[in-house]
Amino acid sequence: MLLDKDNVELSVIIPIYNEELNIDYLFERLVSVLNCLNIKYEIVCVNDGSKDNTLKYLIEHHHRNSAIKIVNLSRNFGKEIALTAGIDYSIGAAVVPIDADLQDPPELIEELIAKWREGYDVVCATRRSRRGESWIKRFTANTFYRMIAQLSHIPIPRNTGDFRLLDRRVVNALKQMPERNRFMKGLFAWVGFKQTLVLYDRPQRYKGITKWNYWRLWNFAIDGITSFSFIPLKIWSYLGLAISLLSFLYASFLVIRTFLLGIDIPGYASLMVAVLFLGGVQLLSLGMIGEYLGRVYEEVKGRPLYFVQECYGFMPESVTQKSIAYHP
Ligand code: UDP
Ligand code: MG
């Protein structure tokens, strides 16, 4: 059954990195949900440089069900880029990114589609609860969402991952955003359109472990904030101004006191405090500027976002790069 390019209604996009334990169960649940929906669908699996048997299993599933298509990236590019690749290759009138570990329940797709049919362009699946996540993960996630809400003028929905439905109009808008630092939640919000949400309880990962340790999450948070807010850069001008004013007052006080009382030696402590504090503030602000400068550098290099090694199940005209090995 070869899918006709023009009337695929739903594209489900799955970024996959080392998920060999989840794949069989994932397709079992996903395909049974999609079959019940009675629409023409495709499942675009983006293999993000998995080091286990993920690709082998994916190819087996592709041979069994030609609606399962594979984009095999040339190495691990990270989830945000894998998702971008999936969006680029998808052709459906609606697109739903979903995690491979079954934390995004496929059964919810029916609700997302119902809302889409009501006329919404973006239907977010928002977490009512985060079961099986440690309090520290919940706390840091909450702090992050609160902070980015304060810092950025684009309202980024809280407790909402990449699991959502996007209309083709939104996908076309997203495809025009060439930036390398792809904080997808932010980009999804930035494009606008008519948005709504459905609530769900987020279950635990089915098998395997998360690929996001705290260091990776921290960097992800910095990416998010620097891509969607200039406030961290502006803080330093105000802080600098405040410190300069205070220093000026203190300097005037010292000059007057010297005139009135003469010179005395003590003052080592206050001197050290001032020098160390100012040194710290300067390094911090330089680091902050560095964060943005590094991102500017990334953008300016203008490299392609990803390379595809081979793909399975796509028609030749939808393959954008010429060097890709193409399997029907
Ligand atoms: N993932 C990916 N590339 C990566 C890391 C993760 O494509 O470098 C995929 C992973 O296979 C899964 C999804 O992104 O389908 C979410 O990853 P994970 O469950 O580890 O993240 P968490 O749910 O803990 O945020
Ligand atoms: Mg997960």
**How does pLDDT run across 168-177, given as a tens digit for each residue?**
999 998 888 8
Does residue 51 carry a pLDDT above 50? Answer: yes
Instruction: Supply the pLDDT for residue 242.
Output: 87
Percent of the chain with pLDDT over 90: 20
d(CA 155, CA 164): 16
Q: Residue 271: which of 250, 243, 301 has the closest Cα?
A: 250
Does residue 283 carry a pLDDT above 60? Answer: yes
Ligand 1 and 21: CB distance under 6 A = no
pLDDT bin (cut points 50, 70, 90) of residue 2 is very low
CA distances from 112 to 109, 180, 211 (A): 5, 29, 27
Other Cβ atoms less than 10 A from the Cβ of 299: the count is 13
pLDDT bin (cut points 50, 70, 90) of residue 132 is low
Q: Which ligand is nearest to the CA of 99?
A: 1
Provide mean pLDDT across the span 248-255. Answer: 83
Which residues are CB-neighbours of 181 under 8 A, at least 6 positions away?
223, 226, 227, 295, 298, 299
Provide mean pLDDT across the span 210-220. Answer: 81
Ligand 1 and 78: CB distance under 6 A = yes
Q: What share of the chain is helix, strand, coil (3-state, %, to 5)?
A: 50, 15, 30
Mutate to test the pocket of ligand 1, among 73, 81, 99 (most ligand atoms within 8 A of CB): 99
Provide mean pLDDT across the span 137-151. Answer: 82
Query: Ligand 1: which residue has its CA nearest to atom 18?
Result: 210
Query: Ligand 1: which residue has its CA nearest to atom 16?
Result: 99
303 C-alpha vs ligand 2 centroid, how far in Å?
29
Rg (CA), the chain: 25
205 C-alpha vs ligand 2 centroid, how far in Å?
5
Q: Give the angle subtended at the CA of 205 by the CAs of 199 and 208, to the nearest 5°.
A: 160
pLDDT bin (cut points 50, 70, 90) of residue 319 is low
pLDDT bin (cut points 50, 70, 90) of residue 317 is low
Provide mean pLDDT across the span 265-292. Answer: 79
pLDDT bin (cut points 50, 70, 90) of residue 44 is very high
Two tokens at 220? 């992800």
The atom of ligand 1 lying closest to the CA of 78 is 8
Ligand 1 and 19: CB distance under 6 A = yes
Long-range contacts of 52-56 (CB under 8 A, 24+ apart): 52/18, 52/20, 53/20, 54/16, 54/17, 54/18, 54/19, 54/20, 54/23
Query: Ligand 1: which residue has its CA nearest to atom 8?
Result: 78
Ligand 1 and 71: CB distance under 6 A = no
Ligand 1 and 210: CB distance under 6 A = yes
Instruction: Supply the pLDDT for residue 3.
Output: 45
Does residue 1 carry a pLDDT above 50? Answer: no
Provide mean pLDDT across the span 258-284. Answer: 78
Provide mean pLDDT across the span 54-80. Answer: 91
Instruction: Supply the pLDDT for residue 97.
Output: 93
Instruction: Supply the pLDDT for residue 245.
Output: 84
258 C-alpha vs ligand 1 centroid, how far in Å?
64
Q: Is pLDDT larger for residue 16 or for residue 324?
A: 16
131 C-alpha vs ligand 2 centroid, how far in Å?
12
Instruction: Supply the pLDDT for residue 5.
Output: 52
Q: Is pLDDT larger for residue 82 or for residue 2?
A: 82
Ligand 1 and 161: CB distance under 6 A = no
Instruction: Supply the pLDDT for residue 280.
Output: 79
At 90, which amino acid appears?
A: S
Highest mean pLDDT among 68-72, 132-136, 241-245: 68-72
Would you say the pTM of this structure is higher than 0.75?
no
Looking up tokens 């990449």 gives 162
19 C-alpha vs ligand 1 centroid, how far in Å?
9
